């Protein structure tokens, strides 16, 4: 595996062309004279020019979180590992906010090269975008105020007000399975739901357990608890533009992250102190076959 690094001052000039460069597929080194066309189909491990635009959440502590110029969380760690395997240094990553409702459109419209944003692989989404992975399995759960003891699962939501996020599988599942029984309030992001829960306008928030655990821990007062009764399986995929040729190299990178221990270390580091216990005893999920591009 060749890992030719492009270390020219010319990179600075290329930086000015970042926007143009970013429209290329991440593994496409184009006319890169240092690595040669052949290597672009190799493993993508050669140094890449320009930047790679990676979509994440900005408001999900422990998963995808922006604090000034700092980006942290499990999605950020997996994305950084994968980007490095594709030949991009951490400095070449441009983090872009991809709210739940905008993910497909942002991939289709070429605003991001790939998305690591608690993005469940579903049949409906599979029809419009491509996915690598999955790299994690979460489960939909409920977050309630600590003094709210009569909600122990989705069947207890009769007559309750529930907050979730537009464009998420969580809101969709509630609409499909519980719409007659609950009043669903949809927000652009889960952090907005927290204000509704703390303010008493809703009785619960629903989304993936790992997201809820991170939100509750970050709020810090112990005022909210995750019910701990997951009722779905959410396979987090790497969202890719339709027809992408990057699924295979990304899956190779994810497999390497599973194998060398850094995947497990990333989960532990990012969920520490949140009380989150992963569904499957921290066994990495099996990667899917990539769709033919």
Which residues of this chain interact with ligand GLU, rule CB under 6 A?
100, 117-120, 165, 168-170, 207-208, 211, 234
Q: Which residues of 196-209 are buried (b: 16+ CB within 10 A; e: fewer)?
A: bbeeeebbbbbbbb
Ranked by CB distance to ligand GLU, the top (closest) residue is 168
Q: Residue 32 or 208: which CB sits closer to ligand GLU? A: 208
Nearest distance, CB of residue 223 and ligand GLU, angstroms: 22
3-state secondary structure 85-150: HCCCCHHHEEEEECCHHHHHHHHHCCCCCEECCCCECCHHHHHHCEEEEEEEEECEEEEEECCCCC
**What gap in Å lies between CA 288 and CA 120, rounded to an integer?**
13
The span from the CA of 132 to the CA of 287, in Å, is: 8
CB of 21 or CB of 142, closer to ligand GLU: 142
Round to whole Å and give the CA distance between 244 and 187.
31
State in angstroms the smallest separation of the CB of 169 from ligand GLU: 4
State in angstroms the smallest separation of the CB of 212 from ligand GLU.
Answer: 10
Q: According to DSSP H, which parts of 110-152 are helical?
A: 123-128
- What lies within 8 Å, CB to CB, of 68 at 6+ separation is none
List, in sequence order, every residue forming a beta bridge with 95; answer none if it has no partner.
54
Taking the least distance from each CB to ligand GLU, the nearer of 24 and 101 is 101
Query: Which CB atom, from 92 or from 120, has the smaller least distance to ligand GLU?
Result: 120
Cβ nearer to ligand GLU, comparing 80 with 170: 170
| H or E segment to which residue 140 belongs | strand 140-145
The CB-of-104 to ligand GLU minimum distance in angstroms stands at: 11
Report in angstroms how near the CB of residue 154 gets to ligand GLU at its nearest: 15
Nearer to ligand GLU, 52 or 129 (CB): 129
Of 43 and 208, nearer to ligand GLU (C-beta) is: 208
**Which of these, 154, 122, 130, 124, lies nearest to 141 by C-alpha position?**
154
Q: How far is the CB of 97 from ligand GLU (least distance, A)?
A: 12
Nearer Cβ to ligand GLU (29/168) = 168
User: Contact 135/236 with Cβ under 8 angstroms?
Assistant: yes
Q: How far is the CB of 93 from ligand GLU (least distance, A)?
A: 20
Please, are residues 235 and 133 in contact by the beta-carbon 8 Å criterion?
yes
Spatial separation of the C-alpha atoms in residues 110 and 25, rounded to whole Å:
10
Residue 118: name the closest of 99, 105, 104 by CA. Answer: 99
Shortest distance, position 188 Cβ to ligand GLU, whole Å: 10
Max distance between CA atoms of the chain, in angstroms, equals 65
């Amino acid at each position: 595996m060749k890992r030719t690094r492009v270390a020219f001052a010319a990179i600075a000039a290329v930086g000015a062309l970042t926007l143009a460069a970013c429209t290329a597929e991440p593994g496409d080194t184009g006319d890169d004279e240092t690595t040669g066309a052949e290597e672009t189909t190799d493993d993508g491990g050669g140094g890449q020019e320009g930047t790679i635009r990676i979509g994440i959440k900005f408001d999900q502590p422990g998963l995808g979180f922006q604090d000034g110029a700092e980006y942290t969380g499990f999605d950020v760690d997996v994305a950084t590992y994968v980007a490095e395997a594709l030949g991009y240094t951490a400095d070449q990553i441009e983090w872009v906010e991809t709210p739940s409702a905008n993910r497909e459109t942002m991939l289709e419209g070429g605003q991001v090269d790939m998305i690591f944003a608690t993005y469940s692989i579903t049949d409906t989404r599979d029809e419009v975008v491509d996915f690598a992975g999955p790299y994690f399995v979460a489960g939909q759960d409920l977050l309630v105020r600590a003094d709210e003891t009569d909600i122990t699962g989705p069947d207890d939501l009769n007559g309750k007000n529930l907050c979730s996020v537009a464009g998420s599988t969580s809101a969709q599942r509630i609409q499909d399975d519980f719409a007659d029984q609950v009043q669903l309030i949809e927000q652009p992001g889960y952090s907005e739901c927290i204000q509704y829960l703390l303010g008493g306008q809703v009785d619960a928030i629903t989304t993936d357990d790992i997201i809820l655990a991170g939100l509750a821990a970050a709020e810090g007062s112990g005022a909210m608890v995750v019910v701990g009764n997951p009722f779905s399986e959410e396979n987090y995929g790497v969202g890719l533009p339709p027809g992408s040729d990057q699924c295979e190299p990304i899956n190779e990178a994810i497999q390497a992250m599973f194998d060398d221990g850094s995947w497990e270390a990333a989960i532990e580091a990012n969920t520490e102190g949140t009380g989150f216990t992963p569904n499957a005893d921290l066994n990495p999920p099996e990667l899917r076959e990539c769709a033919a591009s």
